[in-house]
Structure 1
Amino acid sequence: MMDLHRSLKWWIYFLLCAPLFGVSYGELRYVLPEEMNRGSVIGNVALDLGLQVSELQARRARVVAEGTSQLCELDTASGNLLISQRIDREELCAQANSCILQFQLLLEDPLQASSLVLDIADINDNNPEFATREIKLDLVESTVLGRRFPLECAHDPDLGTNSIREYKLSHNDHFALEMSSQINGNSYPELVLKKQLDRETEAEHLLEINGIDGGYPVRSGTAFIHIRVLDANDNVPIFSQRLYKASVPENAAKGTLITTLNATDFDEGIYGEITYSFSHLSDKMGGVIEVNPLTGEVRVAGVIDYEEASSHELGVQAKDGGGQASHCKLVIDIIDLNDNKPVIEIKSASSNIAEDARPGTMVALINIYDMDTGNSGHVICSIPDNVPFKLVSEVKNYHMLVTDGILDREFQPEYNITVTATDSGSPSLSSVKVITLLVSDVNDNPPTFTHYVYNANILENLPVGTLVIKLEAQDSDDGTNAKILYHISQDTNSELSSFFTINQNTGELFTSHTFDYEQSAYFQLKITAQDGGDPQFSSTCTVNIFIQDQNDNGPVILYPVQTSGFIAEDVVPIEAPGGYLVTKVVAVDADSGHNAWLSYRIIKATRSNLFMADLHTGEIRTLRTFMEEDEPKHTLVVLVTDNGRESLSATATVSISLSDGMPVLSEFYEFADKSENNDNLMFYLIIALSTVSFLFVLLISGVFYFNFCDHSYVYRSNTSSLPVFPTTYCTSTLTDFSRCGTLLREDRYDPFMTTGSWRGDFRFGSNTDTDILKKRSAAYQKNTLRRLSTERPSLKIRAGPTHPCYVIK
């Protein structure tokens, strides 16, 4: 029932005191009784500060303590300030008249700090207690009436009306209890002799003293007074001072002398022997200060900390051998030293920050304080100069670590920021704390190819899926921002892009068709590399793909046309001398380069020693003059082979008829006077070397001119009797500009060129059908040969479909 009344009183007291809070200069003050249950509501912070409850959680509101334990907490869901730990006023503030607990209420974004003050009110939760349960007094029977004997006060940690109000003495005939005041105004009980003692009648007296407080419910403490009646001890010890004051530095070494107490007793013998002791030592002072009971020296016995208490007030008792005692006060002031390092507490910190964070973005909230006072408690906080961060302080003891420059993860992905706090004491003390911050990636770098242009060569006729080239792009970003996907750019012709496929992840380019060099020799693709960031970045490179020729086309005979059932005859005068040009085998090869170089030789003849074929030009000439026994008709089989690694060949059948009526043309034979040739060999060699050099220079000039000028040089022979061959024929002294073998394309220049030799001066027609092999017929060849022998005009052939050929310049 008593506990119910006690609880009811607490709540009535709290309801009366709780409204006594104020908000001034950003300060909230609440008055609450001690010993409230955990979870009890102190007040509504949101309501008192005029904030919305939703703001508390959004701005990460919290209560922080500086140097004290966290006794309360904030419920951000309701805005209520709650008791989180047991609050015992006597434990926190000892005998201080007021018990004030200071906290900080922090809100972020923007940073706002409000002072939160809890004024802890005392309740009657402690019983008065005497230092000893038994007080022993030895009194002589001659003690005069009215003699007063000071008694030790009972100790009650409570304050005000809850502290000791009165003392009561059990009923007896010899003693009464009266109150007396000390120099500091405190009251203490004294035992007053009212009736003469008689040792022989009653040698001992046992009394009971009660210390009673003024709280509700009333609490009391009891001690027993054991009085022995002796003979003659009529002097009480007397202190030289009623109040002793001393000072000692904190952290003084054990055994350091603080002061020396001095009391005298005029009695002799055992009644004059004085012993010193403390009347009462609190739990905090127990083991810290000690007094020598014989000499009265007060020394340091433990660790003295200014931050625990700046001064101590102790009651000292001097008692003689007869049990009589006197009391005085000892006040010890603690001198503060710079013995505490600054405290660095990270109240809020981000483990990472985006590299595109704007300058001024808060990274961490740091609370820095020093338990020392004066200059020793003044703290300077700093960070290194070589980091893109700075400290900003808008609230006392709180610093914000904010960005102070542009962050670049690719340059530095991590920062270890050393926060140094140094006080102004002598010597100064400092503390260090390292804040590790990772810079998170944003997509601010495009993929970059190792080259802007790639050149790749592949052979024709390779199967589908052949690897052409592996492209590689690099992205200095991280994670998905650096994941690169490759694809053929939309700028590339859709028909051309269908010829190739690319692996999006590896950048490997593969063929999706089989290529024919004779159809297409060059491709150009645009490849795009795109990262996986948001927004996405991309870059493009150019891939030049050159199709390399293989010897997959054999020679094709253009003249004489080989048709079943008909072979055109070439007529030669019977009077023709040796070296006379009879005809010419014309063949082409769709390949290019070495694969298109053709060579001619006769493998079968009616007479083996009558005709010869030029190895490079295919010209058929006589080896000697004709004789009467020679047949009038001759058949030659000429083998035409290309110059490929595995050469391909074709045969041409040449039919020659001797005629009596044809004139011998002097320009169609050559002299075979070997002796003359031998005599002039050196001269011919010099002439040939000069001619080749001149032609080489002329050829180079012509190539450059044809590349840069859109003109055609046309050679027109005045000799209408020259043989005419299709433009697809080209002698060994002419240059193949098209890289497409011996077949010319209609989209190239149509030059009319000759060797300049009187022995091989031929004209070439223009706009030759590249598919002429399929359109020729026996009748067409026959008519052509007849026209050659009569009119000899330029051969005109209808142009066929275009076959593209990409030329590399």
Structure 2
Amino acid sequence: VFVFEANNRCGKWLSLWISSWQLLFYFTMISTIRGQIRYSIPEEMRSGSLIGNVAQDLGLDLKRLRSGRARIVTGENNQYAELKTDKGILVVNERIDREELCGDVTPCSFSFEIILENPIELHRVTVEILDVNDHAPTFKNKIISLEISESATVGSHFDLESAYDPDAGNNGLQNYVLSTNDNFVLKQQSNADGIKFAVMVLQKPLDRELEPHLSLKLVAVDGGSPQRSGTVTIEITVLDVNDNTPVFNQSLYTTSVVENAAKGTYLTTVAASDADTGSNGIVTYTFSSVKGKSAEMFDIDSLTGKITVAENIDFEKDKKYEIRVIAKDQGGLSDATKVIIDVIDTNDNAPVINIMSFTSLVSEDVPPGTTIAVFNVKDSDSERNGLIKCSVDHDLPFKIQSSLTNYYNLLSNVHFDRESTNEYNITIIATDSGSPQLSSQIALHLKITDVNDNYPVFTKPNYSAYITENNSPGMSVFSLTALDRDWNQNARVSYLLEDTQIKIGASLVSHYVSVNAESGVVHAVRSFDYEQIKEVVFAVKAQDGGSPPLSSNVTVKILIQDQNDNPPQVLYPVQTGGSVVGEMVPRSADVGYLVSKVVAVDVDSGQNAWLSYKLQKVPDRALFEVGLQNGEIRTIRQVTDKDPVNQKLTVIVEDNGQPSRSATVIVNVAVADSFSEVLSEFTDFKHDKEYNDNLTFYLVLALAVVSFLFITCLVVIISVKIYRWRQSRILYHSGLPVIPYYPPRYSDTLGTGTLPHLYNYDVCGTTDSRKSDLKLGRAGNQNVLIMDPNSTRTLTRIQSEKCILDEPDSPAAVDQSVEDTKVAAMHLF
């Protein structure tokens, strides 16, 4: 408990008050860390006069006053005090009139609150206004007219009009003084509420014949310094004998009236009786001025004594009225009674809400219980009518908590989530407990500021896209999109490529693709080759612009689509530059006889690798046909003697791409039953060709010789090595320029069972022609013809092969085969 009292410099006025009044101490309980101080100052101080040092009395630093934006908050209409935050003092803001501020209420004071923010602190300040003798006692009328019968007995009382002094305490009305006279003395009395009034007492009988008229002075004196007074003239007319005074039937009347009662509302009726008859027995009723304008609020019928409402009655201004009613007869005799009128409060004032402090922007991460606003609620009504309840919408995450008297805090009740609700319209409702209830409300608009508490989220759990090979570098593949529920910078998403290695060649992902950091567009950095890489799988990180930043990853797969950019490659028969490979068909071959099979592969995929085989050039289309899908060359009729021995077939291999690509292979077929027949035909063919093309042969030979001498060392060595390297997987290794060719009795790779299983071969094809292989089995019982017109060596290797004719078990056949081989060798030489 702390007691603060500050007395300001009040000059001579204050020193006189201190000498006559003992200063009182007020004790105030302080809630938590809040302080309450009290100052006493005289009224009528000039604007700017010092009230007290608030900073010193509250123990606050001047910097705290400035940083906390200290200010005065009050619900009153007038600001009587001003806070100087730079000096920490309170000064008078405007002239204070105690009588205007409090009327007859003592002690007189007003209160206000000083609020500081960051953190919020609330301090109550009470300023007591000390009365200054600035008003003199006054009478309602300048002249008091009395008519007194000369028969009035000694000791008769004559009530006089009371004076009114709005000052309080010693400065108020203290005494009455009557001018010197022989007939009357003054007797001073007080009501229960302390109002003083004067009564003249007759001490010497009047003699109308000697003095028919008396004029006296009544002086009302206060106790201030300097003393002030008011004077009224008493005009006394001496009447003839009236020896009975009016007498009220009650010494006290009590009644009540509801505030805001309509004018003319009946309150009560006073009655007095007079034993006299005639004009001396006629009684009239009047009000005696009490408490200034109190009597003006009511009317009294002078003949009946009926009291009614004359002005609007406000409980908040006056809760009770006391009126003295004078009953006077025609002889001037009178009696007095008191009428007490209690005002009954009605619920005619709605609560008034004043916002003292409000934070319109709140971060979404503030904890529950954070103070959003401080407000004050006042209701001028009393008791139950002034009992206030404050509330907010139950659907809103806020609650109201009372702090000081009539002060409330608006607190958050949950953790905010800006992404769910980014602003609140808060309506504070204050309702009294009257009947009917009155309420008022005030709306507050609260915005929730963002905190980076949400990760970017991709619109898909993973992404896949297709791109055709041989694309142009820098081509846009597709776009990634990630959304962040945060706001502004916290929701600004950047896209980053996770630069990891991929399986193909252990290269970095950034060598293949790139991601635009702003738009999320994925670009191809290089041209893709389907035959080298089928897909690119990588991760992209979406990162927001918050602090610290939040991120999430997504897996992206780019599938490379094949393009028909590779022609078919013929694996069999092998085309060499220096030899002619032939197939031999016996003249006894049946229809459908398998002559040979063209084997080709295409490193493309899908329909781009679907191959079809066609005969492009053939001497007799009625003799041979090629399988469209399997490349098998078969006879389509019986071979006759008229068919030429040498048949040169040109087979074209096409893929199914758009546009399609193709390769051509030449298959030489010899229609003969023995090697001698083939060799004889070949010899004739050779001589005819030599004779017909003699000139061409020598020209080509001369050009070959010159070229050979020019590039002997370089071209031959490099060409041979490159050639052997490329053919190493599809050809068997041989040191001779003659390539052995085995008879075409193949196994049925399709499993149709149409071919004899006497000769087997395995074809191993890959998408890389350099890795293809052809594995040949042992020779069967078909004829093989190897012809090399440019060869100067004997076919000793042919002789070493196991060549068996149509009847492999016959000795004669074996001898005939050997003989034919020798003859063929001689012709070749």
TM-score, L = length of structure 2: 0.70
Identify which of 21, 26, 29 aligns with 1:25: 29
1:572: which partner in 2? 584
Residues 603 and 768, structure 2, Cα contact 8 Å, conserved in 1: no
> Displacement, 1:123?
0.9
1:356: which partner in 2? 365
> Displacement, 1:363?
2.9
1:738: which partner in 2? none
Structure 1 residues 228, 446: CA separation in 2 closer, same or farther (over 3 Å shift)?
A: same
- Partners in 1 of 2:155 and 2:354 — Cα distance? 64
Q: SS of the counterpart of 2:138?
A: coil
> Displacement, 1:488?
2.2
Structure 1 residues 149, 288: CA separation in 2 closer, same or farther (over 3 Å shift)?
A: closer
Identify which of 124, 131, 135 aligns with 2:133: 124
Tell me, yes or no, if structure 1 residue 763 matches structure 2 residue 775. Answer: no
Tell me, yes or no, if structure 1 residue 181 matches structure 2 residue 194. Answer: no
Structure 1 residues 432, 756: CA separation in 2 closer, same or farther (over 3 Å shift)?
A: farther
- Partners in 1 of 2:167 and 2:94 — Cα distance? 20
Q: Percent identity?
A: 41
2:102: which partner in 1? 93
Task: Within 5 Å, give how 1:623-772 maps onto structure 2.
Answer: 623=636, 630-656=643-669, 661-662=674-675, 758=757, 761-764=760-763, 770=769
Task: Within 5 Å, give how 1:338-737 maps onto structure 2.
Answer: 345-368=354-377, 371-374=380-383, 379=388, 388-393=397-402, 395-414=404-423, 437-464=446-473, 466-491=475-500, 495-559=508-572, 568-572=580-584, 575=587, 577-578=589-590, 579-623=592-636, 630-656=643-669, 661-662=674-675
Tell me, yes or no, if structure 1 residue 310 matches structure 2 residue 322. Answer: no
Tell me, yes or no, if structure 1 residue 162 matches structure 2 residue 179. Answer: no
2:44: which partner in 1? 35
Which of 407-416 and 536-545 deviates more? 407-416
- Partners in 2 of 1:367 and 1:646 — Cα distance? 87
Structure 1 residues 276, 789: CA separation in 2 closer, same or farther (over 3 Å shift)?
A: farther
Structure 1 residues 479, 615: CA separation in 2 closer, same or farther (over 3 Å shift)?
A: same
* Residue identity matched to 1:522: E
> Displacement, 1:158?
1.0
Structure 1 residues 85, 319: CA separation in 2 closer, same or farther (over 3 Å shift)?
A: farther
- Partners in 1 of 2:756 and 2:135 — Cα distance? 137
TM-score, L = length of structure 1: 0.71
Q: SS of the counterpart of 2:555?
A: strand
- Partners in 2 of 1:204 and 1:650 — Cα distance? 158
- Partners in 1 of 2:335 and 2:116 — Cα distance? 57
Structure 1 residues 767, 421: CA separation in 2 closer, same or farther (over 3 Å shift)?
A: closer
Structure 1 residues 149, 508: CA separation in 2 closer, same or farther (over 3 Å shift)?
A: same
Structure 1 residues 765, 520: CA separation in 2 closer, same or farther (over 3 Å shift)?
A: closer
Structure 1 residues 789, 55: CA separation in 2 closer, same or farther (over 3 Å shift)?
A: farther
Which is greater in Rg?
2
- Partners in 1 of 2:426 and 2:748 — Cα distance? 81
> Displacement, 1:623?
4.5
- Partners in 1 of 2:18 and 2:510 — Cα distance? 85
- Partners in 2 of 1:351 and 1:401 — Cα distance? 12
- Partners in 2 of 1:655 and 1:286 — Cα distance? 146
- Partners in 2 of 1:651 and 1:428 — Cα distance? 106
- Partners in 1 of 2:561 and 2:757 — Cα distance? 38
- Partners in 2 of 1:275 and 1:513 — Cα distance? 121
The one-character-per-residue Cα deviations of 1:478-504 (angstroms, maximum 9, x if unpaired) are 443333333323446673234333344
> Displacement, 1:522?
0.9
Structure 1 residues 791, 269: CA separation in 2 closer, same or farther (over 3 Å shift)?
A: farther
- Partners in 1 of 2:130 and 2:614 — Cα distance? 128
- Partners in 2 of 1:24 and 1:560 — Cα distance? 117
- Partners in 1 of 2:461 and 2:758 — Cα distance? 52
- Partners in 2 of 1:767 and 1:150 — Cα distance? 138
1:294: which partner in 2? 303
> Displacement, 1:410?
4.0
Structure 1 residues 107, 231: CA separation in 2 closer, same or farther (over 3 Å shift)?
A: same
- Name the count of aligned residue pairs: 701
2:4: which partner in 1? none
Structure 1 residues 15, 136: CA separation in 2 closer, same or farther (over 3 Å shift)?
A: closer
Q: SS of the counterpart of 1:477?
A: coil
Task: Within 5 Å, give how 1:143-162 maps onto structure 2.
Answer: 150-162=159-171
Residues 567 and 654, structure 1, Cα contact 8 Å, conserved in 2: no
Q: SS of the counterpart of 1:402?
A: strand
- Partners in 2 of 1:361 and 1:371 — Cα distance? 31
- Partners in 2 of 1:228 and 1:45 — Cα distance? 63
Structure 1 residues 114, 400: CA separation in 2 closer, same or farther (over 3 Å shift)?
A: same
2:60: which partner in 1? 51
* Residue identity matched to 2:520: G
- Partners in 2 of 1:624 and 1:756 — Cα distance? 18
The one-character-per-residue Cα deviations of 1:263-287 (angstroms, maximum 9, x if unpaired) are 3455555555443333336677476
- Partners in 1 of 2:581 and 2:266 — Cα distance? 145
The one-character-per-residue Cα deviations of 1:155-207 (angstroms, maximum 9, x if unpaired) are 22112333345667789x89888453345565445678999999999987777
Structure 1 residues 201, 18: CA separation in 2 closer, same or farther (over 3 Å shift)?
A: closer
Residues 299 and 309, structure 2, Cα contact 8 Å, conserved in 1: yes
- Partners in 2 of 1:630 and 1:495 — Cα distance? 64
Which of 317-326 and 71-80 deviates more? 317-326
Residues 640 and 651, structure 1, Cα contact 8 Å, conserved in 2: yes
Residues 175 and 191, structure 1, Cα contact 8 Å, conserved in 2: no
- Partners in 2 of 1:20 and 1:789 — Cα distance? 143
Q: SS of the counterpart of 2:163?
A: coil
Q: Which runs of 5+ in 1 are unaligned?
A: 1-5, 665-716, 735-753, 774-778, 793-809
> Displacement, 1:585?
3.6
Residues 748 and 755, structure 2, Cα contact 8 Å, conserved in 1: no
Structure 1 residues 169, 286: CA separation in 2 closer, same or farther (over 3 Å shift)?
A: closer
Which of 155-164 and 604-613 deviates more? 604-613
Q: SS of the counterpart of 1:294?
A: coil
Residues 150 and 191, structure 1, Cα contact 8 Å, conserved in 2: yes
Structure 1 residues 283, 609: CA separation in 2 closer, same or farther (over 3 Å shift)?
A: farther
* Residue identity matched to 1:161: N
> Displacement, 1:136?
3.7
Which of 534-543 and 583-592 deviates more? 583-592
- Partners in 1 of 2:464 and 2:798 — Cα distance? 52
Residues 360 and 402, structure 1, Cα contact 8 Å, conserved in 2: yes
Structure 1 residues 789, 45: CA separation in 2 closer, same or farther (over 3 Å shift)?
A: farther
2:89: which partner in 1? 80
Residues 724 and 763, structure 1, Cα contact 8 Å, conserved in 2: no
Residues 724 and 788, structure 1, Cα contact 8 Å, conserved in 2: no
- Partners in 2 of 1:759 and 1:86 — Cα distance? 133
Which of 221-230 and 80-89 deviates more? 221-230
